[in-house]
Amino acid sequence: MSHCPFCKKKIAMSKAFCSRSCKENYFQLIAIQIPKLFMKRIYLFCDENEREQEILEFASRHHWRLDLLRTKIHNEAVRMGYIDEPAESSK
Ligand SMILES: [Zn+2]
């Protein structure tokens, strides 16, 4: 068995993704670039409301899907040590 790289569902070895939408989401997610300074600003200098506002503006400025951008920012924040990995993402 293998795992879908986007949703982590188990899939057959012969498949790369579990669905077409996972494949599209996966490559969109890779395409999203988040500057380190942006991460630093929203996590060190913004409260939760300001961070939310920054994320909304960032998504609309670059025409990225908000849910994917949130996922990417979350992953980056964990990677950069701004937040702890929540239990639910280890499912
Ligand atoms: Zn999937």
Please tell me the distance between residue 64's alpha carbon and the centre of ligand 1 in angstroms: 20
Please tell me the distance between residue 53's alpha carbon and the centre of ligand 1 in angstroms: 29
What pLDDT digit, counting tens, does each position of 3-22 carry?
A: 999 999 999 999 999 999 99
Same domain, yes or no, for 18 and 60?
no
For residues 40 and 37, give the distance between their C-alpha atoms in angstroms, rounded to a whole number. Answer: 5
Same domain, yes or no, for 45 and 2?
no
Same domain, yes or no, for 62 and 18?
no
Ion ligand 1 residues within 5 Å by Cβ: 4, 6-7, 9, 18, 22
- Cβ–Cβ < 8 Å for 42, 54: yes
Range of the domain at 49: 32-85
Please tell me the distance between residue 60's alpha carbon and the centre of ligand 1 in angstroms: 25
Interval 55-67 mean pLDDT: 95
Flag whether pLDDT at 86 surpasses 70.
no
In this prediction the pTM is 0.79
Torsion over CA: 78, 83, 88, 90 (sign): positive
Same domain, yes or no, for 71 and 60?
yes
pLDDT tier at 89, thresholds 50, 70, 90: very low
Instruction: Give me the amino acid identity at 59.
Output: A
DSSP-assigned letters across all residues of the chain: -EE-TTT--EE-TT-S-SSHHHHHHHHHHHH----HHHHHIIIII--HHHHHHHHHHHHHHHT--HHHHHHHHHHHHHHTTSSPPPGGGG-
